Structure 1
């Protein structure tokens, strides 16, 4: 096992395109760190630089106590699992698992032990004689994980390994990866565009946009205190509601006002200096709720759609020209096209600068 340190790591292509801008962070020994962001944000490029598959344009990359900027991939003591399984179709599971070890000149006894240990860990023992074509996608991805596992590397790198699986398989293999990490305690860097994967797998998460790190923190810290509007909107499903408008002091308390939009912020206590200022006010769908009778801090919204998803309901609404989503427990609601009175729970408020999108300090 080993820690991974990046100090000002950059990637600039020959055409001048900057893919990664000065990435600085440390993955602790034994940590599972997730890199997440939309397509083209630089997360896979960053992982490939750690692997040695992309040249580093600037900065320093260390694995353990060794700077590896100019070290060949095969000498970095890493193993990588790709989005495609990349299994040899003519080889059995056992032969696929053993192939890399044979290339590195390990003896037969060592190879047999490592293959059997990996197969047992990943539940592949009964499949060692199968060809990849006779296996499901989830089983093939486990073989790909096993091929990395037998290497016993200091660092595992996983580049969107679940993207080719259906939803049910993604969940089961995701669980297996989490269990594998807990069992092995190996340093892992995991790349995904899927926020659910990021939130459920990562001990910490690096959020990227356009090659720039936006925030690094634990999953719930990112969810509860996003550093900016991008992080706030990217993590969470449905996404955070954002009300843009001028903060005013009304008879019902502090309100966000912008044309037909007038949303009271419950009994929120804010910095007096914000009154009269145009801000972006974020509120998660679960912090919008049907108002109690007589609630003077409620506002009226039109129901555009109702999405029952089993244990909860997503209510799509419009207030003024503002689209909103509310997450509620199953209950009777007005029909689509009807109106509903909605209250904001102030403990769920987030305030951002309307221009920069940066978070403003706020404590209930």
Structure 2
């Protein structure tokens, strides 16, 4: 196992495009860290730089305290699992698992020991003589994981390993990866564009956009205290509701919007920090679970129901509030018909406030 440390790591391509800008963070020994962001944000580029498959334009990368900027991938003691399984179709599962060890000149007994140990961990013991064509998608993915596992590396690098699986199998494999990491305790860096995967797997998450790190924190801190509008809108399903307006006070805070005021109440927890933002443009955020149907005397807004999405244990209400679209997450209950209006209230203590110009969280 090992630590990984990035200090102002930068990737500049010959055409002038900056793939990664000043990435700095440390990964603890045995930690599972997730790199997440939309397509093109630089997460895979960053992972490939750690692996040695992309050169580093500037900055310092250390693995277990050793600077590895110019160290070949094979000498970094890492193992990488790609989105594409890349299994050898003419080889059995056992041969696929042990092929890398064979190339490194390991003894036959050592290879056999490691292959059987990985197969046991991944529940592939009964499929060691099978070829990839006869395996399910989940079994192929486990073979790809096992091929990295037998290497017994200092660091695992996983690049969107579940993207090719269907939703049910992705959930199963996600649990298997979490369980495997807990048992092995190997330092792991996991890349995904799926924010649910990131939230459920990562001990910490690095959120990237446009090649820049937006925030690094634990899953729940990212959810409860997003650093900016990008993080607020990217993490959470459904996404956070965002309303723009001018913050004002008159017997209580309210958001002055083009179609009228939205009362916010006294906001006792936020009042000190909001004083300096009086009469300034802000963005108000509220999570879907904090926007709820309310009795008329407790309502602060009225919205039109557009689409109702029942998903079993909860219901998503897609609403129209003037020119704004909102989503409310509610328990299964009797709902108004589409195209009718409903009264809504929100948890004032759980509102989020952002600078409309910079997008940064107001704290």
> Could you tell me whether the CA contact under 8 Å between 1:260 and 1:320 is conserved in 2?
yes
Please name the residue that 1:34 is paired with.
34
Task: Report deviation, 1:249.
Answer: 2.5
Matched, 1:268 2:267: yes
| Mapping of residues 101-112 of structure 1, within 5 Å | 101-112=101-112
| Mapping of residues 119-134 of structure 1, within 5 Å | 119-134=119-134
Please name the residue that 1:162 is paired with.
162
Matched, 1:337 2:339: yes
Matching residue within 344, 357, 361 for 1:359: 361
Deviates more, 1:221-230 or 1:333-342: 333-342
> Could you tell me whether the CA contact under 8 Å between 2:208 and 2:215 is conserved in 1?
yes
> Could you tell me whether the CA contact under 8 Å between 2:296 and 2:343 is conserved in 1?
no
Q: d(CA) in 2 for partners of 1:12 and 1:58?
A: 8
> Could you tell me whether the CA contact under 8 Å between 1:288 and 1:326 is conserved in 2?
yes
Task: Report deviation, 1:2.
Answer: 0.2
| Mapping of residues 206-225 of structure 1, within 5 Å | 206-225=206-225
Deviates more, 1:316-325 or 1:212-221: 316-325
| 3-state SS in 2 of match to 1:96 | helix
Matching residue within 298, 301, 318 for 1:299: 301
Q: Which runs of 5+ in 1 are unaligned?
A: none
Deviations 1:97-155 (A, max 9, x none): 01000000000110000000000000000000000000011100000000000000000
TM-score (norm 2): 0.97
| 3-state SS in 2 of match to 1:273 | helix
Please name the residue that 1:316 is paired with.
318
> Could you tell me whether the CA contact under 8 Å between 1:81 and 1:157 is conserved in 2?
yes
Q: d(CA) in 2 for partners of 1:291 and 1:236?
A: 23
Task: Report deviation, 1:272.
Answer: 2.5
Please name the residue that 1:114 is paired with.
114
Matched, 1:60 2:60: yes
Please name the residue that 2:185 is paired with.
185
Matching residue within 321, 326, 329 for 1:327: 329
Q: d(CA) in 1 for partners of 2:183 and 2:98?
A: 22
Task: Report deviation, 1:267.
Answer: 4.2
Matching residue within 286, 291, 296 for 1:288: 291
Q: d(CA) in 1 for partners of 2:259 and 2:95?
A: 67
Please name the residue that 2:12 is paired with.
12
> Could you tell me whether the CA contact under 8 Å between 1:261 and 1:319 is conserved in 2?
no
Q: d(CA) in 2 for partners of 1:160 and 1:262?
A: 44
Which consecutive aligned stretches of 4+ in structure 1 deviate over 4 angstroms post-superposition?
none
> Could you tell me whether the CA contact under 8 Å between 1:266 and 1:344 is conserved in 2?
no
Q: d(CA) in 1 for partners of 2:199 and 2:127?
A: 31
Matched, 1:258 2:257: yes
Task: Report deviation, 1:254.
Answer: 1.7
| 3-state SS in 2 of match to 1:359 | coil
| 3-state SS in 2 of match to 1:265 | strand
Q: d(CA) in 2 for partners of 1:257 and 1:303?
A: 23
Please name the residue that 1:46 is paired with.
46
Aligned length: 359
TM-score (norm 1): 0.97
Task: Report deviation, 1:273.
Answer: 2.8
Matching residue within 275, 279, 284 for 2:282: 279
Task: Report deviation, 1:262.
Answer: 3.0
> Could you tell me whether the CA contact under 8 Å between 1:132 and 1:140 is conserved in 2?
yes
> Could you tell me whether the CA contact under 8 Å between 2:243 and 2:285 is conserved in 1?
yes
Task: Mark the CA change 1:240 to 1:298 in structure 2 (over 3 Å): closer, same or farther.
Answer: same
Q: d(CA) in 2 for partners of 1:31 and 1:140?
A: 25
